[in-house]
Homo-oligomer: A and B are copies of this chain.
Amino acid sequence: MPEVLSVLVKTPLSTIMDALGDPIRLKIVRMLLEKGEIACGGFDLDLPKSTRSHHFKVLRDAGIILKHEEGTSIYNYIDRESLEERCPGLLEMLTQAEPPY
């Protein structure tokens, strides 16, 4: 393992940016910003559920979304409070960014 890598490791912020660097995950986040809560399957993404689940996990591990089981359904939603504390202005930036996203 090269010594250089020990100098710069993944940080919370770079992890967040990395998670948002994928077009699919970025679309998921934007859908959540628009519609509030969405069940994992409630996306019009033509992807197998294993792929979807993977992307949701990346977003969860980055601290961007949380999930919330209510009865029979599992909803995903954006952890606005935590995000606003760690990256003030990020969510507002995402909603204001120019298309195409």
* A residues whose Cβ falls under 8 Å from a Cβ of B: 4, 7-15, 17-24, 26-27, 45-47, 85-90, 92-94, 96-98, 100-101
Contact A21 B21 (CB under 8 A): yes
Q: How far is the CA of A90 from the CA of B58 in the complex (A)?
A: 22
Cβ of A53 to closest chain B Cβ, rounded Å: 15
- This protein's copies in its complex: 2
Option from B8, B14, B23, B89 in Cβ contact (under 8 Å) with A9:
B23
Is B13 a contact of A97 with CB atoms below 8 Å? yes
Which of A14, A15, A24, A98 counts the most B-chain CB atoms under 10 A from its CB? A14
Known: A11-B100, A14-B22, A101-B13. A89 touches B93 (CB 8 A): yes
